[in-house]
Amino acid sequence: MQLKRAINFFELWEMTGVVTMNNYDVIIVGAGPAGLTAALFNARSKLKTLCIDEIGNGGQAAITDLIENYPGFPEGITGSKLTIKMAEQVERFGAEKITEKVQKLKLEEEYRVVVTNQSKYRAKAVIIASGASPRMLGCPGEIDFRGRGVSYCATCDGAFYEGSNILVIGGGNAAVEEAVYLTKFADKVTLVHRRQELRAAKVAQERAFTNPKIDIIWDSVVEKISGNSSVEKVILKNVRSGERREMFVDGVFVYAGLEPNSAWVKGVVRLDEKGNILTDENMCTNIKGVYAAGDVRRKLLRQVLTAASDGAIAAFHAERYIESQFYGS
Amino acid sequence: MIEVNKDNFEQEVINSNKPVIVDFWGPSCQPCLELLPQVEKLSEAYKDKVKLVKVNSAGNRRLCIKLRVMGLPSFLAFKNGKEVKRISGQDLTIKEIEELIKSIA
Ligand SMILES: Cc1cc2nc3c(=O)[nH]c(=O)nc-3n(C[C@H](O)[C@H](O)[C@H](O)COP(=O)(O)OP(=O)(O)OC[C@H]3O[C@@H](n4cnc5c(N)ncnc54)[C@H](O)[C@@H]3O)c2cc1C
């Protein structure tokens, strides 16, 4: 679909040299699966599209070992391969990509302005696809031993734990899948979960239950991580009995849930009590011309496929909005 | 950026006249791979003041253990042969790395 081009007020202003700002049709914040898919759809519609990510491409999916539930890859595909391909596809259709940290979203009449740590960009519509980050345990020692035994990325750090004894915290898909992945390196992996049953998909659970290197400790949380130059010991607390136990371990991998990356839009778009962005089924937020897609939204199934799907829907509605708001009769 | 290993670590890092930043990366660490080209650019931009080198953790496990690097990406800053600061984590941004460079420049 080709949009009718009309010169608007701001563009006229800029031509006269009164203001300079980088102008786009759509700005997408985040280049994980949701953001990359939105960028693909908008760029293919010939909208002037900018995608901003503070790190690079791929988001959480880039640090996932094997993705087995994204259709089209019967053998599974590594998260890094899949997201590199997604980024190449976006490039092919000409979306612009930059590496900056987005700090604020501002509304200027019918325009949406994205403020980064380096510049300002203005667009007719914005798609928020800033995803989620691992939730920290919040126990003493966690921050001190980060990079020296505490990790949030098994594909990054797993190989440092050859022959060692490690804990994986959590009971969802990420925790169980990464626990299985870590048995490639570690001699022993203990999964520690605060409840009595896992939330992970049944296939993943079965792999964990039948893996001789994996033990599970139920109903327990980590109370303290300690050591000298690296992690040596944790204290676990049973949440039912209140009993504590000490365990000697070389590493702790944390997959205890997610925090949405939405602090930068707080007060601008509507969030739920956990910071997830509220949208309707068209990915519209409460603000006109502002959409949200992927893990940053309130939803139940947080996966690569659903993030990509959200991205496509958001891009579609952003395009329709631009057409009617800026070029409509 | 030159590759450093156990054989030239002493010469390139410990005995360097300029402050040094060592970028620890690994072939299966996607955040590391995303950062590398941008770090190369910083290396060029700051080359008069700070030397940037990289270590592939996959072939240099011993060196990593010796320096207590157990997480990727990790950036260690050395001044006069001593480690003065480090930053680490899969969510490191290029901005934080530039700050680290500036702090020892
Ligand atoms: C260990 C692990 C295993 C997983 N396994 C699977 C699996 O097997 N199958 C599956 O389908 N899903 C899996 N998932 C889930 C899947 O990775 C996520 O659902 C998906 O990546 C969400 O995509 P997203 O684009 O919404 O957000 P994200 O992937 O979180 O991407 C968000 C992006 O936004 C950027 N960003 C955030 N804030 C800012 C800011 N202020 N400025 C600029 N950029 C910003 C981030 O750098 C990031 O690149 C797994 C997740 C993890 C952690």
Pairing state between β B82-88 and B74-79: antiparallel
CB A55 within 8 A of CB B93: yes
CB A142 within 8 A of CB A57: no
Distance CA A28, CA A43 (A): 11
Active site residue B64: no
Residue A234 within any structural domain of the chain: yes
The closest residue, in CA terms, to atom 3 on ligand 1 is A174
Atom of ligand 1 nearest to the CA of A30: 34
- Degrees, nearest 5: CA angle A262-A145-A197: 65
Per residue in A83-112, pLDDT tens?
999 999 999 999 999 999 999 999 999 999
Q: How far is CA A275 from CA A27, A199, A267, A271, in A?
A: 21, 22, 11, 5
Pairing state between β A77-78 and A188-192: unpaired
Q: Quick one: pLDDT at residue A6?
A: 54
CB A250 within 8 A of CB A230: yes
Question: A26 with A129, same domain?
Answer: yes
Atom of ligand 1 nearest to the CA of A101: 42
Extract the tokens encoding A80: 């890094």
**The total number of structural domains that make up chain A:** 2
Per residue in B55-94, pLDDT tens?
999 999 889 989 999 999 999 999 999 999 999 998 999 9
State the residue range of the domain holding A33: 9-15+22-133+258-326
Question: A177 with A89, same domain?
Answer: no
Nearest CA in chain B to A81: B30
Residue A107 within any structural domain of the chain: yes
Question: A165 with A184, same domain?
Answer: yes
State whether B64 and A80 contact (CB < 8 Å): no
The distance of B87 to chain A (nearest Cα, Å) reads: 8
Question: A121 with A222, same domain?
Answer: no
Residue A145 within any structural domain of the chain: no
Residue A142 within any structural domain of the chain: no
Residues 6+ apart with CB under 8 A from A23: A10, A11, A14, A48, A121, A122, A123
* A160 vs A17, more confident: A160
Distance CA A35, CA A39 (A): 6
Domain boundary among the residues A216, A231, A254 is at A254
Question: A221 with A190, same domain?
Answer: yes
Domains of chain B, first to last: 2-104 (3.40.30.10)
> Which active-site residues of A does the annotation give?
153, 156-157
Distance CA A293, CA A298 (A): 10
Domain boundary among the residues A228, A254, A280 is at A254
Region of poorest pLDDT, from A2-11, A72-81, A270-279: A2-11
- Degrees, nearest 5: CA angle B46-B51-B53: 120
Residue A4 within any structural domain of the chain: no
* Contact A302 CB / ligand 1 (< 6 Å): yes
Q: The CATH number of the domain where A183 resides is what? A: 3.50.50.60
Q: Is the pLDDT of residue A1 over 70?
A: no
Distance CA A99, CA B38 (A): 9
The closest residue, in CA terms, to atom 26 on ligand 1 is A294
CB A41 within 8 A of CB A1: no
Per residue in A183-239, pLDDT tens?
999 999 999 999 999 999 999 999 999 999 999 999 999 999 999 999 999 999 999
Question: A170 with A263, same domain?
Answer: no
Residue A2 within any structural domain of the chain: no
Instruction: State pTM to two decimals.
Output: 0.90
A255-282 exposure pattern, b = at least 16 Cβ within 10 A, e = fewer: bbbbebbbebbeebbebeeebbbebeee
